[in-house]
Chain A
Amino acid sequence: MNLDQFKPLTVYTIYIASTPEKVWEALTSAEFSRKYFSGFAVEMEPKLGGSFVVHAPDGSEHIRGEVFEYDPPRRLTVSWNVNWPDLVEKLGTTIVTYEIEQAGEAVRLTLSQRHDRELSDDILSGGRTGWPAILSGLKSLLETGKAPHIEMSPPVRLLEALKAMGIKVP
Protein backbone atom coordinates (compact mmCIF):
# COMPACT_ATOMS: atom_id res chain seq x y z
CA MET A 1 0.00 0.00 0.00
CA ASN A 2 1.35 3.43 -0.95
CA LEU A 3 0.91 5.66 2.10
CA ASP A 4 1.51 8.83 0.01
CA GLN A 5 -1.92 8.34 -1.54
CA PHE A 6 -3.49 8.83 1.87
CA LYS A 7 -4.17 12.48 2.70
CA PRO A 8 -4.54 13.60 6.33
CA LEU A 9 -8.16 14.67 6.84
CA THR A 10 -8.03 15.09 10.62
CA VAL A 11 -4.94 16.09 12.61
CA TYR A 12 -4.65 16.69 16.36
CA THR A 13 -1.73 17.74 18.54
CA ILE A 14 -1.50 17.51 22.31
CA TYR A 15 1.36 18.27 24.74
CA ILE A 16 1.85 15.79 27.55
CA ALA A 17 4.21 16.12 30.52
CA SER A 18 5.74 12.67 30.11
CA THR A 19 8.43 10.80 28.16
CA PRO A 20 8.21 9.52 24.57
CA GLU A 21 8.60 5.95 25.85
CA LYS A 22 5.63 6.24 28.22
CA VAL A 23 3.45 7.86 25.54
CA TRP A 24 4.36 5.04 23.14
CA GLU A 25 3.50 2.42 25.76
CA ALA A 26 0.18 4.10 26.55
CA LEU A 27 -0.75 4.17 22.84
CA THR A 28 0.06 0.52 22.23
CA SER A 29 -0.93 -1.43 25.33
CA ALA A 30 -4.33 -2.68 26.45
CA GLU A 31 -3.56 -2.07 30.12
CA PHE A 32 -3.30 1.68 29.44
CA SER A 33 -5.81 2.07 26.63
CA ARG A 34 -8.67 0.55 28.66
CA LYS A 35 -8.30 3.48 31.08
CA TYR A 36 -8.43 6.37 28.60
CA PHE A 37 -10.23 4.84 25.59
CA SER A 38 -13.65 4.00 27.12
CA GLY A 39 -12.60 0.46 28.04
CA PHE A 40 -11.26 -0.42 24.57
CA ALA A 41 -8.17 -2.65 24.53
CA VAL A 42 -5.39 -1.91 22.02
CA GLU A 43 -3.34 -5.00 21.18
CA MET A 44 -0.40 -4.60 18.84
CA GLU A 45 2.30 -6.98 17.63
CA PRO A 46 5.35 -4.74 18.11
CA LYS A 47 6.91 -5.07 14.64
CA LEU A 48 6.52 -3.88 11.07
CA GLY A 49 3.72 -5.83 9.42
CA GLY A 50 2.40 -6.95 12.81
CA SER A 51 -1.30 -6.97 13.63
CA PHE A 52 -3.09 -4.05 15.29
CA VAL A 53 -6.36 -4.97 16.97
CA VAL A 54 -8.74 -3.08 19.24
CA HIS A 55 -11.22 -5.07 21.32
CA ALA A 56 -14.42 -3.44 22.56
CA PRO A 57 -15.24 -3.69 26.30
CA ASP A 58 -17.61 -6.61 25.51
CA GLY A 59 -14.63 -8.53 24.08
CA SER A 60 -15.65 -8.23 20.41
CA GLU A 61 -13.08 -7.23 17.81
CA HIS A 62 -13.86 -3.60 16.94
CA ILE A 63 -10.84 -2.64 14.85
CA ARG A 64 -8.39 -4.76 12.87
CA GLY A 65 -5.36 -3.36 11.13
CA GLU A 66 -1.71 -3.76 10.39
CA VAL A 67 1.48 -1.93 11.42
CA PHE A 68 2.86 0.07 8.46
CA GLU A 69 5.49 2.26 10.12
CA TYR A 70 7.21 1.13 13.30
CA ASP A 71 9.86 3.38 14.83
CA PRO A 72 9.51 3.29 18.64
CA PRO A 73 9.16 5.67 20.44
CA ARG A 74 8.85 8.19 17.59
CA ARG A 75 6.48 7.13 14.87
CA LEU A 76 3.76 4.54 14.49
CA THR A 77 1.42 4.09 11.52
CA VAL A 78 -1.35 1.52 11.51
CA SER A 79 -4.44 0.78 9.47
CA TRP A 80 -7.51 1.42 11.60
CA ASN A 81 -10.41 -0.43 10.05
CA VAL A 82 -13.65 -0.66 12.00
CA ASN A 83 -15.13 -4.16 11.66
CA TRP A 84 -18.57 -3.23 10.41
CA PRO A 85 -19.76 -5.07 7.28
CA ASP A 86 -19.10 -3.12 4.04
CA LEU A 87 -17.49 -0.19 5.87
CA VAL A 88 -13.96 -0.67 4.52
CA GLU A 89 -15.32 -1.50 1.03
CA LYS A 90 -17.22 1.80 0.92
CA LEU A 91 -14.95 4.19 2.83
CA GLY A 92 -11.57 2.64 2.03
CA THR A 93 -8.84 1.95 4.55
CA THR A 94 -8.30 4.42 7.41
CA ILE A 95 -4.66 5.10 8.26
CA VAL A 96 -3.70 6.48 11.68
CA THR A 97 -0.23 7.88 12.40
CA TYR A 98 1.15 8.90 15.80
CA GLU A 99 4.19 11.15 15.86
CA ILE A 100 5.92 11.57 19.20
CA GLU A 101 8.53 14.30 19.72
CA GLN A 102 10.30 15.64 22.75
CA ALA A 103 9.36 19.31 23.29
CA GLY A 104 11.31 20.65 26.24
CA GLU A 105 10.01 18.92 29.35
CA ALA A 106 6.93 17.72 27.54
CA VAL A 107 6.12 15.41 24.67
CA ARG A 108 4.31 16.61 21.59
CA LEU A 109 1.95 13.94 20.28
CA THR A 110 0.44 14.47 16.83
CA LEU A 111 -2.26 12.17 15.56
CA SER A 112 -3.27 12.16 11.92
CA GLN A 113 -6.11 10.23 10.36
CA ARG A 114 -5.58 9.67 6.64
CA HIS A 115 -7.74 8.45 3.81
CA ASP A 116 -7.27 7.73 0.10
CA ARG A 117 -10.47 9.59 -0.86
CA GLU A 118 -12.52 12.62 0.11
CA LEU A 119 -14.99 11.88 2.91
CA SER A 120 -17.89 14.00 4.12
CA ASP A 121 -17.77 15.95 7.39
CA ASP A 122 -20.56 13.65 8.62
CA ILE A 123 -18.34 10.59 8.17
CA LEU A 124 -15.34 12.37 9.70
CA SER A 125 -17.41 13.63 12.66
CA GLY A 126 -16.94 10.25 14.36
CA GLY A 127 -13.20 10.70 14.77
CA ARG A 128 -13.49 14.43 15.31
CA THR A 129 -15.68 13.87 18.38
CA GLY A 130 -13.80 10.84 19.63
CA TRP A 131 -10.13 11.78 19.31
CA PRO A 132 -10.08 14.92 21.51
CA ALA A 133 -11.66 12.94 24.36
CA ILE A 134 -9.28 10.00 23.89
CA LEU A 135 -6.21 12.26 23.74
CA SER A 136 -7.31 14.31 26.78
CA GLY A 137 -7.83 11.07 28.69
CA LEU A 138 -4.38 9.82 27.68
CA LYS A 139 -2.84 13.10 28.85
CA SER A 140 -4.61 12.99 32.24
CA LEU A 141 -3.65 9.35 32.75
CA LEU A 142 0.04 9.97 32.09
CA GLU A 143 0.21 13.21 34.07
CA THR A 144 -1.95 12.35 37.08
CA GLY A 145 -2.18 8.54 36.99
CA LYS A 146 -5.93 8.72 36.50
CA ALA A 147 -8.11 9.33 33.46
CA PRO A 148 -11.47 10.99 34.05
CA HIS A 149 -14.55 9.10 32.97
CA ILE A 150 -15.74 10.97 29.88
CA GLU A 151 -19.34 10.42 28.91
CA MET A 152 -19.42 9.89 25.14
CA SER A 153 -22.75 10.18 23.38
CA PRO A 154 -23.19 7.87 20.37
CA PRO A 155 -21.77 9.38 17.12
CA VAL A 156 -25.22 10.09 15.69
CA ARG A 157 -24.04 12.06 12.62
CA LEU A 158 -21.60 9.32 11.65
CA LEU A 159 -24.12 6.52 12.15
CA GLU A 160 -26.77 8.33 10.07
CA ALA A 161 -24.27 9.00 7.27
CA LEU A 162 -23.16 5.34 7.25
CA LYS A 163 -26.78 4.16 7.13
CA ALA A 164 -27.41 6.50 4.19
CA MET A 165 -24.50 4.81 2.37
CA GLY A 166 -26.04 1.41 2.95
CA ILE A 167 -23.58 0.36 5.63
CA LYS A 168 -25.12 -1.71 8.40
CA VAL A 169 -24.31 -0.27 11.82
CA PRO A 170 -24.83 -1.96 15.20
Chain B
Amino acid sequence: MDEVFKALADSSRRSLLDRLHARNGQTLNELCEGLAMTRQAVTKHLAILEEANLITTIRHGREKLHYLNPVPIHQIGERWIRKFERSKLAALNELKRQLENGDE
Protein backbone atom coordinates (compact mmCIF):
# COMPACT_ATOMS: atom_id res chain seq x y z
CA MET B 1 0.00 0.00 0.00
CA ASP B 2 3.03 2.32 0.48
CA GLU B 3 3.58 2.21 -3.27
CA VAL B 4 0.05 3.43 -3.94
CA PHE B 5 0.43 6.47 -1.70
CA LYS B 6 3.89 7.28 -3.09
CA ALA B 7 2.58 7.01 -6.64
CA LEU B 8 -0.36 9.28 -5.83
CA ALA B 9 1.85 11.88 -4.10
CA ASP B 10 2.74 13.55 -7.39
CA SER B 11 0.49 15.91 -9.32
CA SER B 12 1.79 14.84 -12.75
CA ARG B 13 0.92 11.24 -12.00
CA ARG B 14 -2.50 12.21 -10.67
CA SER B 15 -3.15 14.15 -13.87
CA LEU B 16 -2.23 11.08 -15.94
CA LEU B 17 -4.78 9.11 -13.90
CA ASP B 18 -7.33 11.89 -14.52
CA ARG B 19 -6.70 11.62 -18.25
CA LEU B 20 -7.34 7.87 -18.13
CA HIS B 21 -10.41 8.43 -16.00
CA ALA B 22 -11.74 10.76 -18.70
CA ARG B 23 -10.87 8.25 -21.44
CA ASN B 24 -9.72 4.75 -20.61
CA GLY B 25 -7.47 2.65 -22.85
CA GLN B 26 -5.08 5.25 -24.33
CA THR B 27 -1.72 4.72 -26.03
CA LEU B 28 1.45 6.45 -24.83
CA ASN B 29 1.19 8.92 -27.74
CA GLU B 30 -2.37 9.83 -26.82
CA LEU B 31 -1.40 10.29 -23.17
CA CYS B 32 1.46 12.63 -24.15
CA GLU B 33 -0.73 14.85 -26.32
CA GLY B 34 -1.00 18.42 -25.01
CA LEU B 35 1.04 17.70 -21.90
CA ALA B 36 3.93 19.94 -20.83
CA MET B 37 6.01 16.83 -20.09
CA THR B 38 8.57 15.00 -22.16
CA ARG B 39 7.66 11.59 -23.50
CA GLN B 40 10.44 10.20 -21.32
CA ALA B 41 8.94 11.74 -18.17
CA VAL B 42 5.48 10.39 -19.03
CA THR B 43 6.97 6.91 -19.56
CA LYS B 44 8.67 7.10 -16.17
CA HIS B 45 5.48 8.22 -14.40
CA LEU B 46 3.48 5.47 -16.11
CA ALA B 47 6.01 2.87 -14.93
CA ILE B 48 5.61 4.08 -11.31
CA LEU B 49 1.82 3.98 -11.62
CA GLU B 50 1.95 0.48 -13.11
CA GLU B 51 4.31 -0.66 -10.35
CA ALA B 52 1.74 0.55 -7.80
CA ASN B 53 -0.96 -1.31 -9.75
CA LEU B 54 -2.86 1.94 -10.37
CA ILE B 55 -2.73 1.37 -14.10
CA THR B 56 -2.73 -1.81 -16.16
CA THR B 57 -1.46 -2.15 -19.72
CA ILE B 58 -2.79 -4.52 -22.31
CA ARG B 59 -1.65 -5.24 -25.86
CA HIS B 60 -4.40 -4.83 -28.42
CA GLY B 61 -3.19 -5.59 -31.93
CA ARG B 62 -0.02 -3.52 -32.36
CA GLU B 63 -0.93 -1.02 -29.66
CA LYS B 64 -0.15 -0.96 -25.96
CA LEU B 65 -3.15 0.51 -24.17
CA HIS B 66 -3.19 1.98 -20.65
CA TYR B 67 -6.12 1.51 -18.27
CA LEU B 68 -6.93 3.06 -14.93
CA ASN B 69 -6.98 0.29 -12.32
CA PRO B 70 -9.11 1.42 -9.37
CA VAL B 71 -8.71 -1.84 -7.42
CA PRO B 72 -6.05 -0.54 -4.94
CA ILE B 73 -8.12 2.61 -4.30
CA HIS B 74 -11.17 0.42 -3.75
CA GLN B 75 -9.15 -1.60 -1.20
CA ILE B 76 -8.12 1.58 0.63
CA GLY B 77 -11.80 2.53 0.77
CA GLU B 78 -12.77 -0.89 2.11
CA ARG B 79 -10.10 -0.61 4.81
CA TRP B 80 -10.91 2.83 6.18
CA ILE B 81 -14.39 3.77 5.12
CA ARG B 82 -17.07 1.86 6.92
CA LYS B 83 -20.26 1.01 5.09
CA PHE B 84 -22.48 3.32 7.11
CA GLU B 85 -20.24 6.31 6.50
CA ARG B 86 -20.37 5.94 2.75
CA SER B 87 -23.71 7.65 2.14
CA LYS B 88 -22.77 10.56 4.43
CA LEU B 89 -19.48 11.03 2.59
CA ALA B 90 -21.24 10.93 -0.76
CA ALA B 91 -23.68 13.61 0.46
CA LEU B 92 -20.85 15.82 1.75
CA ASN B 93 -18.92 15.40 -1.48
CA GLU B 94 -21.98 16.39 -3.50
CA LEU B 95 -22.51 19.47 -1.30
CA LYS B 96 -18.86 20.49 -1.77
CA ARG B 97 -19.14 20.02 -5.53
CA GLN B 98 -22.29 22.13 -5.77
CA LEU B 99 -20.89 24.93 -3.59
CA GLU B 100 -17.60 25.03 -5.49
CA ASN B 101 -19.33 25.06 -8.86
CA GLY B 102 -21.45 27.90 -7.60
CA ASP B 103 -24.23 26.93 -9.96
CA GLU B 104 -26.79 25.72 -7.44
- Which of A11, A110, A148 gathers most chain B CB within 10 Å? A11
One of A12-20, A27-35, A36-44, A52-60 at the interface: A12-20
The contact size tier of chain B is: 10 to 19
B53 touches A15 (CB 8 A): yes
Q: In the complex where A7-B60, A110-B56, A151-B83 touch, is A12 in contact with B25 (Cβ < 8 A)?
A: no
Which of B60, B61, B69 makes the CB contact (< 8 A) with A12? B69
Residues of A close to B58: CB separation below 8 A: 8, 11, 110, 112
Binary flags per residue of B36-66, CB closer than 8 Å to A gives 1, else 0: 0000000000000000010010101100010
Q: Tell me the bound Cα distance from A110 to B69 in angstroms.
A: 10
Q: Tell me the bound Cα distance from A151 to B67 in angstroms.
A: 26
A133 to chain B, nearest CB (A): 7
Chain B residues proximal to chain A, CB less than 8 Å: 24-25, 53, 56, 58, 60-61, 65, 67, 69-71, 74-75, 78, 83
Report, nearest first, the 9 A-B pairs whose CB atoms are least far apart: A11-B67, A132-B74, A13-B56, A11-B56, A14-B71, A13-B69, A8-B58, A12-B71, A132-B71
